[in-house]
């Protein structure tokens, strides 16, 4: 007898687990396959800074007990300046957050199968109809969803995933105590999420301090090991070496102590997807990928992608004549580009331009933000050409020249 469900999801991260919650609440039979052991979940996949917007907490019904600290502002730093914006947020305990999504999904009717590593899709006439897992085990479904992140075994086999190594960002973070969130010469980081642009600390990337209460914080950095990284890197310094360097040189971190078991490592791809679906199939979360390229926020976008997939599944399965054809599954693409990552290509171009700039240009950028006010930053963040133009100077011509040369080289490669 076939092991059959209406929806099968590979991966119990924020995207997969949120999709399962929504699909189950709509009354469908949904199974989630998760690689990890349930008793230790999510030790292997506890990789996120878990900083997100306060609005996301309400939109997805998340409880206060998964939050380490509610924050009140975002601070942007350069080597010699800073800019503060009021922006409610939340720094979550990522493990507690993931466990909540699983348990809440189960209460809604979702089934979870741990120790189940998805390895390949099962197809019939080019249509995804199931998943092969743990070598020779099979499960069938009307709709198959890959939420496994960059591994993407199902999406790759169906030619949906096109993640490129040159676009892979790596990151490391520690939960620490002994942080001086108030220090002369620096912004007040009390109840703040701080992002720092400084090639000496994160060449071609950024670093962060997310306050988690009292003298504790999440401290980390990430970058892409591409040409921008090589232009700014210190010879033979690993990503851990850059973090050590920051701890040694920033007076706010002089007495910082790392929590035992408080290290998180991860990676994400900073690029826009070419495809998101195939007949009977959708790729969600970091499988495609979904992380915001400009600010690195991934939880909100992953959850939104899971919800968009659930809405699409409902549309495809709600009638007696179930339709999971390519054209019907394309509803997911529309929702993704509208609700999950609007203006994704423009934001990616802004990100690449930003990381080409020098430390001196970062200082000037933050000075401009302080002079022009919050409205300009908000509009620029939305991709407003007028707001972006207000942050550009005549002597940026060499920067734009390099940016254009890089774009041409990419297209010719």
Hunting for tokens 């992140």 — which residue is that? 149
Q: Specify the pLDDT at position 162.
A: 79
Please state which architecture CATH assigns to domain 70-91+166-269. 2-Layer Sandwich (3.30)
Adjacent-strand bridge partners of 267: 170
Does residue 164 sit in helix, strand or coil?
coil
Query: Taking Cα atoms as reference points, which of 351, 397, 346 lies closest to residue 228?
Result: 351
The Cα 270–Cα 289 span in angstroms is 7
H helix and E strand count, the chain? 14, 16
- The tally of CA atoms less than 13 A away on the side-chain side of residue 376 is 17
Q: How many CB atoms lie within 10 A of CB 226?
A: 18
Q: How is 167-227 classified by DSSP, letter by letter?
A: GEEEEEEEEEE---SS-TTS---TTEEEEE--TTTSTTEEEEEEEEETTEEEEEEEEE-SH
Q: Cα(6)–Cα(14) distance, rounded to whole angstroms? A: 20
Residue 1 burial (C-beta neighbours within 10 Å; 0-12, 13-18, 19+): exposed
| Distance of alpha carbon 165 from alpha carbon 205, whole angstroms | 16
Burial of 64 (0-12, 13-18, 19+ CB in 10 A): exposed
In 48-136, beta strands by DSSP E? 51-53, 67-78, 81-92, 111-113, 118-124, 127-133
Instruction: Spell out the domain ranges in the chain.
Output: 4-49+95-163+273-341, 70-91+166-269, 345-412
Structure tokens given for 127? 């249509």
Assigned token pair, 263: 């290290």
Token digits of residue 51: 């900083």
Contacts of 136 (CB under 8 A, 6+ apart): none
Helix axis angle, 344-356 to 397-412, nearest 10° = 120
CA-CA distance, 330 to 315, in Å (whole number)? 11
Q: Can you give the pLDDT at residue 173?
A: 94
**CATH for 4-49+95-163+273-341, among 3.30.1330.50, 3.90.76.10, 3.50.50.60, 3.20.20.140?**
3.50.50.60
Residue among 111, 109, 117, 103 at smallest CA distance from 11? 117
pLDDT (0 to 100) of residue 36 = 95
d(CA 230, CA 167): 14
Residue 110 and residue 360: Cα distance in Å, rounded?
52
Helix residue ranges per DSSP H, 91-179: 94-108, 153-157
Residue 133's pLDDT is 98
Contact 363, 77 (CB under 8 A): no
Q: Nearest 10 degrees: CA dihedral of 13, 2, 313, 272?
A: 50
Question: Of 148, 85, 403, 374, nearest to 282 (Cα)?
Answer: 148
Half-sphere exposure of 154 (CA within 13 A, CB side): 35
Instruction: Report the pLDDT value the prediction gives residue 98, as an integer from 0 to 100.
Output: 95
Q: Is 322 helix (H, G, I), strand (E, B) or coil?
A: coil
Buried b (16+ CB within 10 A) or exposed e, 23-58: bbbbebbbbbbbbbeeeebbeebbbbbbbbbeebbe
Q: Which residues of 258-272 are buried (b: 16+ CB within 10 A; e: fewer)?
A: eeeebbbebebbbbb
Q: What is the pLDDT along the chain (413 residues), one digit of tens a residue?
A: 789 999 999 999 999 999 999 999 999 999 999 999 999 998 777 677 888 888 899 999 999 999 999 999 999 999 999 999 999 999 999 999 999 999 999 999 999 999 999 999 999 999 999 999 999 999 999 999 999 998 999 999 999 987 777 777 888 999 999 999 999 999 999 999 999 999 999 998 899 999 999 999 999 998 877 666 566 666 678 899 999 999 999 999 999 999 998 898 887 777 778 899 999 999 999 998 777 766 667 889 999 999 999 999 999 999 888 999 999 999 999 999 999 988 777 777 777 888 888 999 999 999 999 998 777 777 777 777 787 788 888 888 888 788 788 777 767 66
């Amino acid at each position: 007898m076939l092991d059959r469900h209406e929806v099968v999801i590979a991966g119990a991260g924020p995207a997969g687990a949120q999709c399962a919650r929504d699909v189950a609440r709509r009354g469908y039979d949904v199974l989630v396959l998760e690689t990890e052991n349930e008793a230790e979940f999510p030790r292997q996949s506890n990789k996120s800074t878990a900083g997100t917007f306060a609005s996301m907490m309400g939109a997805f019904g998340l409880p206060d007990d998964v939050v380490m600290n509610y924050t009140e502002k975002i601070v942007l730093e350069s080597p010699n300046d800073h800019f503060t914006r009021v922006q409610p947020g939340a720094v979550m305990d990522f493990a507690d957050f993931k466990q909540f999504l699983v348990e809440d999904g189960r209460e809604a009717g979702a089934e979870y199968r741990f120790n189940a590593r998805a390895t390949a899709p099962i197809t019939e006439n080019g249509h995804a109809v199931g998943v092969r897992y743990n070598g020779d085990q099979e499960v069938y479904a009307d709709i198959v969803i890959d939420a496994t992140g960059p591994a993407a075994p199902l999406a790759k086999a169906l030619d949906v995933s096109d993640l490129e190594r040159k676009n892979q960002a790596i990151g490391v973070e520690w939960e620490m105590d002994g942080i001086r969130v108030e220090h002369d010469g620096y912004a007040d980081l009390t109840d703040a999420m701080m992002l720092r642009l400084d090639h000496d600390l994160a060449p071609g990337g950024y670093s962060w301090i997310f306050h988690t209460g009292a003298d504790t914080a999440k401290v980390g950095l990430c970058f892409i090991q591409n040409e921008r990284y090589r232009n700014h890197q210190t010879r033979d310094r690993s990503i851990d070496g850059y973090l050590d360097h920051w701890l040694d040189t920033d007076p706010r971190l002089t007495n910082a102590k790392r929590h035992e078991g408080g290290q998180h490592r991860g990676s994400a791809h900073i690029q826009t997807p070419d495809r998101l679906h195939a007949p009977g199939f959708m790729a969600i979360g970091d499988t495609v990928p979904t992380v915001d390229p400009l600010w690195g926020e991934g939880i909100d976008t992953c959850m939104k992608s899971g919800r968009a997939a659930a809405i699409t599944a409902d549309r495809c399965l709600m009638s007696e004549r179930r339709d999971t054809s390519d054209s019907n599954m394309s509803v997911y693409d529309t929702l993704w580009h509208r609700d999950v990552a609007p203006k994704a290509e423009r934001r990616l171009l802004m990100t690449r331009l930003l990381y080409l700039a020098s430390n001196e240009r970062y200082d000037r950028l933050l000075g401009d933000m302080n002079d022009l006010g919050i409205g300009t930053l908000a509009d620029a963040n939305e991709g407003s050409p007028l707001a972006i133009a207000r942050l550009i100077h005549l002597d940026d011509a060499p920067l734009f020249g390099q940016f254009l040369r890089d774009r041409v080289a990419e297209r010719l490669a």
